[in-house]
C-alpha cells in the first residue's frame, strides 16, 4: 500500500503543473524581466483545476522543448506559463478570464491578437518560427516603392547598411508592429538618391485613407520614440469599423467601444476622439476604440432596442454581451467614459444589469460623535416585463473567424 502511495505521489510530482524543464514559470517577481529580455515570449495562462489546462500542459511543454533546441540564441524566444490562481496580479493585469489563454509578447509588448490556432506541438512550433521571420522586407530598388500594396499602411526606412544601431532599432519596431504595418527597407547604393540627406524613415498611408506621406523627425536610434510614432501612424487610436474590416478587428480579440453616429454628425465624432485621446490612452490594447455609421450598422442597434433615430449612442461589445453607455448628455464629463470602460473590466456592467446599482457606502457622524456606516442601493434591477434577462448578446462576435477554426470562446467556455 505504501509503495502504491509512493508511486502515485511520484506521478503527481512529475506531472505537477509547476514542474517544467522547458517552460518557464512566470510570477509577479520575474514576469517583467522575462518579457523585457526576450524578443519573443509565448505565454500559457492556465488554471490547475481546468481540465483544458491540464490537457494543454504536456503539449505546450513538448513545443517548448523543440523551440529551445531549435532557437538556441539567448534572449531570442521563451515559452512560459502563468498559474493564474497563484499569480492573480499577473492574470488580472492581462485581463485573463478563461483558461487556458495563450498570448504572445514581442520585445516586452503584448501582441493584440490572442493565439487562436491549433493546439498541437507542431502548430506551436510553426507559429514561433513565423514570429521570428525577418519583419523587414528589403526593397531591391526605388522603382519598387510605388508598387507597394496600396491597401496597407507602410513604414519605409532608408539605410546605408544593416549593421547600424539605427537599422537594429527599425527592425525591433517592425517586429513589434508586424501585425499592423508593412515594414520595408531600402539599403545601400541602389538608394543613394534617398540617402543624400542621410538615413531616414517615412510613413506611407494606404491610398484609401487620403493621408500624405510623413517623415519621422525623431532620433532614428531611439526605440521608444520610433515605436510610439510608428504605432500612432500604423494604428490610429480611433478607427472606423466597416463591413469590410469587421472580421479583422474582431480577430484582435479585445472588446469594442463603439460610437454609433449619423454620418453627418462630425461634432460627436470629434468629441469622442478628443475624450479618448485625453483620458483613455492607457486603455489602448485592452479596448478597441471604434466609430460606426449607425445608419448602416442597424442590427447592433436593434439588439440594444435602439434605431438610427436614437443616434448618437455609445456601446461596449465584449463579444458576449453589449452594454449601452447610460447617458450621452454626460459624455463630456471628466472620466465618465473611462469609468464605463473600467466597469466592463471589473464586472460591474454585468453585475448591475442583473442586480441593479452596486451598494454605495456612506459615512455619517451622529450627535454623540459616533461614526455610522450606511449602505444604499444594491436592489434588483427592473427588467422589461419583470423578467430577469441577460444583457443584449454580442452581434460582432458573429464576425469572428469561421466555426471550423479553433476558438476558445466556443471550445472552452
The three-state secondary structure class of 345 is helix
**Residues in a beta bridge with 347:** none
The answer to whether the beta carbons of residues 43 and 24 sit under 8 Å apart is no
What is the residue-averaged pLDDT of the chain? 84
Contact partners, residue 374, CB within 8 Å, separation at least 6: 361, 362, 363, 364
| Average confidence (pLDDT) over 388-411 | 54
60 with 96: CB under 8 angstroms?
no
For 305-352, how does the pLDDT look when each residue is reduced to its tens digit (9 = 90+)?
Answer: 999 999 999 999 988 889 999 999 999 999 999 999 999 988 888 887
Question: What domains are there in the chain, each with its CATH number?
Answer: 2-131 (3.40.30.10), 136-234 (3.40.30.10), 238-346+392-399 (3.40.30.10)
**In terms of pLDDT, which residue wins out, 135 or 210?**
135
Grid coordinates of 88: 492573480
Q: Residue 408 has what pLDDT?
A: 38
What is the rounded average pLDDT of the residues 185-201? 94
Number of H helices, E strands in the chain: 13, 17
Residue 200 to residue 369: CA distance in whole angstroms = 70
CA distance 325 to 271: 15
- The SS3 call for residue 66 is helix
6: pLDDT strictly greater than 70: no
Q: Is a pLDDT exceeding 70 seen at residue 236? A: yes
CA distances from 67 to 17, 22, 61, 117, 128 (A): 19, 9, 10, 17, 8
362 falls in which pLDDT band (50, 70, 90)? low
Hey, how many other C-beta atoms are within 10 angstroms of the C-beta on 365? 9
Q: Are 206 and 195 in contact (CB under 8 A)?
A: no
Percent of the chain with pLDDT over 90: 59
Q: Could you tell me the strand order of the sheet in which 77-83 lies?
A: 24-25, 77-83, 40-46, 101-106, 109-110
Contact 95, 29 (CB under 8 A): no
Would you state the pLDDT for residue 24? 96
Nearest of 26, 31, 182 to residue 108 by alpha carbon: 31
pLDDT at 361 over 60: no
* Residue length of the chain: 413
Amino acid at each position: 500500500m505504501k509503495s502504491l502511495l509512493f508511486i502515485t505521489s511520484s506521478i503527481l510530482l512529475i506531472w505537477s503543473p509547476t514542474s517544467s524543464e522547458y517552460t518557464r514559470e512566470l510570477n509577479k517577481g520575474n514576469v517583467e524581466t522575462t518579457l523585457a529580455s526576450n524578443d519573443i515570449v509565448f505565454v500559457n495562462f492556465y488554471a490547475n483545476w481546468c481540465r483544458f489546462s491540464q490537457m494543454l500542459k504536456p503539449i505546450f511543454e513538448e513545443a517548448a522543448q523543440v523551440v529551445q533546441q531549435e532557437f538556441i540564441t539567448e534572449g531570442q524566444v521563451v515559452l512560459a506559463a502563468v498559474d493564474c490562481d497563484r499569480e492573480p496580479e499577473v492574470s488580472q493585469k492581462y485581463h485573463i478570464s478563461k483558461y487556458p489563454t495563450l498570448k504572445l509578447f514581442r520585445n516586452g509588448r503584448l501582441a493584440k491578437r490572442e493565439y487562436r490556432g491549433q493546439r498541437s506541438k507542431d502548430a506551436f512550433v510553426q507559429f514561433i518560427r513565423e514570429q521570428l521571420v525577418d519583419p523587414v522586407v528589403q526593397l531591391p530598388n526605388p522603382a519598387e516603392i510605388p508598387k507597394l500594396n496600396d491597401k496597407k499602411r507602410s513604414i519605409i526606412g532608408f539605410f546605408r547598411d544593416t549593421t547600424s544601431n539605427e537599422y537594429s532599432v527599425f527592425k525591433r519596431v517592425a517586429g513589434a508592429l508586424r501585425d499592423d504595418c508593412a515594414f520595408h527597407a531600402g539599403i545601400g547604393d541602389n538608394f543613394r538618391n534617398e540617402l543624400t540627406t542621410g538615413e531616414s524613415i517615412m510613413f506611407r498611408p494606404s491610398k484609401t485613407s487620403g493621408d500624405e506621406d510623413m517623415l519621422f523627425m525623431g532620433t532614428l536610434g531611439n526605440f521608444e520614440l520610433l515605436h510610439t510614432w510608428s504605432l500612432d501612424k500604423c494604428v490610429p487610436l480611433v478607427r472606423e469599423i466597416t463591413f469590410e474590416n469587421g472580421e479583422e478587428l474582431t480577430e484582435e480579440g479585445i472588446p469594442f467601444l463603439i460610437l454609433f453616429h449619423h454620418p453627418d454628425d462630425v461634432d460627436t465624432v470629434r468629441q469622442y476622439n478628443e475624450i479618448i485621446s485625453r483620458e483613455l490612452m492607457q486603455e489602448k490594447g485592452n479596448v478597441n476604440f471604434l466609430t460606426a455609421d449607425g445608419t448602416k450598422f442597424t442590427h447592433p442597434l436593434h439588439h440594444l432596442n435602439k434605431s438610427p433615430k436614437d443616434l448618437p449612442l455609445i456601446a461596449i461589445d465584449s463579444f458576449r454581451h453589449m452594454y449601452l453607455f447610460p447617458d450621452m448628455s454626460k459624455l463630456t464629463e471628466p472620466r465618465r467614459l473611462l469609468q464605463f470602460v473600467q466597469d466592463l473590466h471589473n464586472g460591474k456592467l454585468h453585475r448591475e444589469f442583473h442586480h441593479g446599482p452596486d451598494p454605495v457606502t456612506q459615512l455619517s457622524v451622529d450627535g454623540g460623535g459616533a461614526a455610522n456606516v450606511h449602505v444604499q442601493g444594491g436592489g434588483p434591477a427592473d427588467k422589461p416585463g419583470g423578467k430577469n434577462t441577460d444583457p443584449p448578446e454580442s452581434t460582432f462576435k458573429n464576425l469572428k473567424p469561421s466555426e471550423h477554426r479553433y476558438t476558445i470562446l466556443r471550445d472552452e467556455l
